[in-house]
Every structure is written in C-alpha cells, then in structure tokens.
Amino acid sequence: MQTMPTAKPSSQALLTASDRALNLGDPRGVRILAKSMYRELRASGLGERDVVAVATELLAQAAVELRESR
C-alpha cells in the first residue's frame, strides 16, 4: 500500500459534495457523496488500493459505533 500523501482533500470540495448529498435518505445523494469523495481522494494522490483501505476503515469505525450504541 502506498503511503498517504501529505496533501489533504480540500475542505471546500468535501463541503460541496456533502451539500449536494444532504438528503442521504435518497440513494442518489449517497452516490453523489461517495463519488465526490472518491474523486477527491484520487486527486489527492491516493491509489485505488488506498481508497479501498480508507473505505474499509470507515466501515470498521461505523461498525464500532453501531456496536457501542446497542
């Protein structure tokens, strides 16, 4: 796996993506947010495997929160 680049995704790009996906109950909103995040991560220099690693970690964090909330 590649090392993470020091450049951070622009907060403006992520904010714009989240603004477009405010209605996360709508599958299109979730898709837009995911696609925007993917593009931003790739543009920041992450490889495909790195993006999968980030997604895996996001799922793991969500699973921990779900378990703790029960």
Tell me whether residue 19 is in a domain. Answer: yes
Among candidate residues 53, 21, 54, 50, the one with its CA nearest the CA of residue 35: 21
Tell me whether residue 46 is in a domain. Answer: yes
pTM recorded for the entire structure: 0.61
Please report, rounded to a whole number, the percentage of residues in the chain having pLDDT higher than 90: 51
Residue 19 to residue 52: CA distance in whole angstroms: 24
Tell me whether residue 2 is in a domain. Answer: no
Tell me whether residue 3 is in a domain. Answer: no
Residue 28 to residue 61: CA distance in whole angstroms: 23
> Which range marks the domain in which residue 51 is found?
11-69
Condensed to tens digits (0 to 9), the pLDDT of residues 23-50 reads 667 888 888 889 999 999 999 999 999 9
Tell me whether residue 5 is in a domain. Answer: no
- Secondary structure class of 55 (helix, strand, coil): helix
